[in-house]
Amino acid sequence: MGMTVIEKILAAHSGKAEVAPGDIVDVMIDARVARDFGGANVVKHMEENHLDIHNTSKTFFTFDCNPTGSDQKYAANQHKCRLYAREHDIRVYDIDKGIGTHVLIEEGLAYPGSTAVSTDSHANILGAIGAFGQGMGDKDIAASWHKGSTWFKVPTTVKITLEGAPGSLLSAKDMALNLLDLFGANTLLGNAIEIEGEMVEKLTLDQRMTIASMATEMGAIIILFPPNKEVIRYCESRARKKVNAPVADPDAKYSMIHTVNVANFTPKISLPGKPHDTSDLPLEKIWIDSAFIGSCTNGRIEDLRAAAMILEGRRVADGVVLKIVPATDRVWQRCLEEGLIEIFKESGALVSNAGCAGCAAGQVGQNGPGEVTVSTGNRNFPGKQGQGDVYLASPDVVAASAITGYIVGPDAIPEDPEKRVEEKHKKASVKPKQAAAVSGRPVEIRGRVWFIPKDNIDTDMIFHNRYLSITDVGEMGQYTFDNLDGYEDFSSRVNRGDIVVTGKNFGSGSSRQQAVDCFISLGVQCVVAESFGAIYERNAINAAFPIVSSDHIKELNLEDGDELYMNFNSGEIRNVSKNISLEVSPFSEVQMEIYQNNGLF
């Protein structure tokens, strides 16, 4: 039977001749990475469970969320990781290096056909070079450090063929936003995506990384590109060895096949709140307060060159702050050598050291309540890059908007931009109170329903990134849903034993374990959803927190306060209040084993 690219990589790293979608395999990991916000928790798991390290030469820390160490809790967590690294001879790519996933490619630790895991939900950016990268929670990373491998469910694969030629003004970011517009946040949920086509061969590594980095926003496991000769040469030079890029078999099986004509793609911008909620440019006049160029999506040298071409000889508009953060120190040095830093500074921009910047709630790039930002980041969930509104766009659109003072494309910069005359402000939300944790391993449960009929509830809505430095589960419950509109007081009203029922793609977004542990802290028995984000599903299973998914939840006709019965062995769900039953998939063998073991460890 023919295999797709991801199936070949997983088979090769699990000692199997072939694998198929749905198989659960134990995958050997070539690069096992913890970042600064998740690293302290990884160390905590290693020490509390008395775990040794399988292979220190494949084990790494990358400090990219807060490279300045400006937050006291981040600084403490980084120091804890450094001490552990010294004791165990682990390589630290410290605050001077840049975004960890990019560093993996630059240092030759990731290459075509390799595997890597990180506490970074955008580790799937490694699909840009034809490698398998996955963001995972801190329990998964600790397990991979100890064992060298981790369990993984082989996903189905979707093939997207890109044909036609893009317009002259179309950037890689525009291509990513057009794909998001076509497929949304959950159409391809849980699938791997292979992108091929004649035009794909011409994409540079930087362009591939921009598109691949937004697989998470599409709900996909990964976007894989077949590496061209340029990418292979680069990876071989960095890895210092010959690499063999796996290619899909001619008879490989795909769950869906799509052909997309990029000639129909248009310059796009994402509206605040949802990366897939896109609009064509130009928009009606939207004044901005700040602009950000950087992130794992658009902090590469090609992105910064594009911005510099627009900024050269111009000044950022009065009242607008432009923040520029290269993805890695190597990119920063290239900017210095090519004179881009001088252009940025003369334009009035703030240039920071390399790192993730605003979307990781550390370093520069955050905005305040009421602030309007246009950003090259990959996410604009409420609260992700601050408390204001965030529009997502390409580097050239962000640069043009920073000069003009309002959102505009690079082809529409006026010679004499209009001056802004009015400001708008919004109020910040209030934090709720704390509740206690839960324990117990029953296979049958009953509980009161919290019915939240919303799709795409992301991890920033569940547990905001400003609380990521918290490692005590007992402290987490008070912050549950405090960034979800209408449920800011959830933690003060929920009861121990309640069950949360919600829509599609619950837990999309970041790899943070806290978005699971906060429910454990409150004593919530289970979350039932139409579907879950891939990383969230893993985190919940590994934490022995019950989750159940079904496309038919609506048939139960649930309302707030209904009593719900569930059987994890049989898959029966019953709305006791209305006597309506539904059969869903019971816990898998792996899920039940971890659940009864009270967690992965």
* Model confidence pLDDT, tens digit, residues 307-335: 999 999 999 999 999 999 999 999 999 99
Least confident range of 65-79, 405-419, 506-520, 531-545: 65-79
Q: Cβ-count burial of 577 within 10 angstroms (0-12 exposed, 13-18 middle, 19+ buried)?
A: middle
Mean pLDDT of 546-558: 96
Q: What percent of the chain has pLDDT over 90?
A: 87
Domains 5-264 and 268-412 share a fold: yes
- Burial pattern 149-182, b for ≥16 Cβ within 10 A else e, equals bbbbbbbbbbbbbbeeebeeebbbbbbbbbbbbb
Which residue carries 């980084």 as its tokens?
78
Residue 13: both structure tokens together: 């790293």
What's residue 427's pLDDT? 47
Mean pLDDT of 444-464: 97
Separation between Cα atoms, residue 74 and residue 36, nearest integer Å: 7
Is the four-CA dihedral 399, 400, 402, 407 of positive or negative sign?
negative
pLDDT tens, position by position, 209-246: 999 999 999 999 999 999 999 999 999 999 999 999 99
Residue 18: both structure tokens together: 């072939």
Helix then strand then coil, in percent of the chain rounded to 5, is: 35, 20, 45
- What pTM, to 2 d.p., does this model score? 0.88
Q: Are 265 and 175 in contact (CB under 8 A)?
A: yes
Separation between Cα atoms, residue 319 and residue 543, nearest integer Å: 46
Which DSSP symbol is given to 400?
A: H
* pLDDT reading at 440 higher than 80: no
Q: At residue 39, what is the residue type?
A: G
Separation between Cα atoms, residue 503 and residue 560, nearest integer Å: 14
What's residue 428's pLDDT? 47
Mean pLDDT of 547-571: 97
What's residue 366's pLDDT? 81
What's residue 361's pLDDT? 59
512-to-152, 463, 469 alpha-carbon distances in Å: 18, 8, 11
Q: Which CATH architecture has domain 444-596?
A: Alpha-Beta Barrel (3.20)
pLDDT tens, position by position, 134-144: 999 999 999 99
Helix (H, G, I), strand (E, B), or coil: what is residue 445?
Answer: strand
Separation between Cα atoms, residue 380 and residue 372, nearest integer Å: 11
Residue 398: both structure tokens together: 């962000």
* pLDDT reading at 363 higher than 90: no
Q: Are 90 and 479 in contact (CB under 8 A)?
A: no
Mean pLDDT of 195-219: 96
* pLDDT reading at 535 higher than 90: yes
* pLDDT reading at 407 higher than 60: yes
Q: Specify whether the backbone of 599 is left (phi greater than 0), alpha (psi in -120 to 50) or beta.
A: left
What angle (nearest 5°) sits at the alpha carbon of residue 368, between those of residues 536 and 303? 70
What CATH class is the domain 268-412? alpha beta
pLDDT tens, position by position, 179-189: 999 999 999 99
Helix H or strand E encompassing 33: strand 31-35
pLDDT tens, position by position, 485-518: 999 999 999 999 999 999 999 999 999 999 999 9
Q: Are 540 and 517 in contact (CB under 8 A)?
A: no
pLDDT band at 439 (very low <50, low <70, confident <90, very high): very low
* pLDDT reading at 71 higher than 90: no
Find the helix packing angle between 138-147 and 36-48, rounded to 10°. Answer: 60
Q: What residues contact residue 395 under an 8 Å CB cut-off, 6+ apart?
A: 171, 173, 293, 298, 303, 304, 306, 307, 376
Q: Are 188 and 220 in contact (CB under 8 A)?
A: yes
Straight-line distance from the first to the last Cα atom of the chain, in angstroms, rounded to the nearest whole number: 36
CATH number for the region 5-264 comes to 3.30.499.10
pLDDT tens, position by position, 333-361: 999 999 999 999 999 999 999 998 877 65
Q: Are 146 and 39 in contact (CB under 8 A)?
A: no
- Number of residues written out for the chain: 601
What's residue 382's pLDDT? 82
Widest pairwise Cα distance in the chain: 71
More confident site: 383 or 586 = 586
Mean pLDDT of 252-279: 96
Separation between Cα atoms, residue 571 and residue 488, nearest integer Å: 32
What is the distance of C-alpha 149 from the center of its chain? Answer: 21
Question: What is the residue-wise DSSP string for 493-505?
Answer: H--TT-EEEE-SS
Separation between Cα atoms, residue 66 and residue 38, nearest integer Å: 12
Residue ranges per domain, the chain? Answer: 5-264, 268-412, 444-596
Separation between Cα atoms, residue 224 and residue 192, nearest integer Å: 8
Q: Are 212 and 182 in contact (CB under 8 A)?
A: no
Q: What percent of the chain has pLDDT over 70?
A: 96
What's residue 360's pLDDT? 63
Question: What is the residue-wise DSSP string for 96-153?
Answer: TTB-HHHHHHHTTSS-TT-EEEES-TTGGGGGGGT-EEEE--HHHHHHHHHHSEEEEE
Is the link from the previous residue into 282 a cis peptide, with omega within 30 of 0? yes
Mean pLDDT of 123-151: 97
- Mean of per-residue pLDDT scores for the chain: 93
> For 86, what's the count of Cα atoms within 13 Å in the CB-facing half-sphere?
5
- Burial pattern 115-141, b for ≥16 Cβ within 10 A else e, equals bbbbbbbbbbbbbbbbbbbbbbbbbbb
Least confident range of 63-67, 112-116, 276-280: 63-67
Mean pLDDT of 243-268: 96
